[in-house]
Amino acid sequence: MAPLWGSSWSSKWGSASAADANASGSNDLKPSLAQILTSKRIRYTASALATVGFFFLLFHNYDRLPTLATMRGGYSAAAPSNADCLPAVVPVFDDASVDWSQYAYTQYVTNKEYLCNSVMIFESLHRLKAKADRVMMYPENMMDPAETNPQSHEAKLLVKARDQYGVKLVPVSVQRRSGGDATWAESFTKLLAFNQTQYRRVLNVDSDATILQPMDELFIMPPCPVAMPRAYWLFPKDKILSSQLMLVQPSEVEFDRIMKQMESSGRNDYDMEIVNQLYADSAMILPHRPYDLLTGEFRGDNHQNYLGTDREEFDPVAIFNEAKYLHFSDWPVPKPWITMSEGMRKDKQPKCENKNGQEDCTARELWNGFYTDFTQRRTKVCDTAARTRR
């Protein structure tokens, strides 16, 4: 049987001088431990054992290995997997250290009726000094984004948004699909937010709303492909995501998923259904307080879904003061740019309450104020007193 240390080692040491042999007192040369450990065969054997051990540990603990995203830390070019989404907690950050040009508030416009609403959203962001960029996706046939001499009313509004409110204009092809409800046929255009890959993160908000406070802190949330609040008015019976506000990490991968889901969706599936089909169980859940308050909440009698508890009293002023995004959703009350008869207003406005023997009409005053404020701002921002119909 060949010696363990191999022929190369014995050949080297077999040529030792006789004097060395005599000095050892023996004709049989015996290698030292250090010589054995440095032999080639020992090194090969140790390497093989180490490799086997490495792969055993690798496959035995594959689920504990860090992902590429976690090794890089924070945001990575590739959207993290759903398992990597952390709870929606705003980390401590310094405004001055954030490159806000990597983030944007986005709006989509499908027709001239909604163009004014979008410009109003950007006017609010400008007035409130929101730090992130502002991007409007609008029908490519409305105007060249570099237009300097607008003629149509739509073109003038687009130029106003660009020049006065710092909005970046992105012409797009409106995404339209016929379905059971013509109202939402073009709402798929909203999903183009997933394709704004020039940004690290975008916050898309519906334009039938009022922004009450900046929401820049959402951009610094832990990484996740999509973050949305729940439709709290349906919770807990239905755990549905609300697409009125979507925090998105644009990527080719996610946009491709969105487009494929659109192609296979049914006649009654629109933007909200599509995002729920894809992200219902994986999206980061944003708190609806303060990011998604419905105007209809002020008309209701039971506020447990919004408050999240039956132990808290609904304080209209406190709720309004904490809210950052107020969505006009008041069925059967029409949207605020559509004429509402005085009879409907009086019939549907919140009821006054009796508190400590006195009449309290705070909720009613706030609710009426929402609609009055919207009408006044629409006239001022869009320079028109005409209310358009949906």
Domain 95-382: assigned CATH number: 3.90.550.10
Nearest to 171 by CA among 202, 139, 135: 139
Nearest to 158 by CA among 118, 211, 104: 118
Q: What confidence category does residue 1 fall into, taking pLDDT thresholds of 50, 70 and 90?
A: very low
Amino acid at the residue 387: R
| Whole-angstrom distance, CA of residue 368 vs CA of residue 131 | 30
> What local confidence, expressed as pLDDT, does residue 91 receive?
82
31 vs 306, more confident: 306
Cβ neighbours for 295, distance < 8 A, ≥ 6 positions apart: 326, 327, 328, 329, 330, 367, 370
Domain extents for the chain?
95-382
Q: What confidence category does residue 7 fall into, taking pLDDT thresholds of 50, 70 and 90?
A: very low
pLDDT, tens digit, 9 for 90 and up, residues 92-143:
888 889 999 999 999 999 888 899 999 999 999 999 999 999 999 999 999 9
**Do 248 and 225 meet the contact criterion of CB atoms below 8 Å apart?**
yes
Average confidence (pLDDT) over 6-26: 39
CA distance readout (Å), 363 to 319, 371, 383 = 10, 13, 30
Average confidence (pLDDT) over 247-272: 88
pLDDT at 285 over 70: yes
Average pLDDT, the chain: 81
> What local confidence, expressed as pLDDT, does residue 98 receive?
95
Average confidence (pLDDT) over 367-378: 96
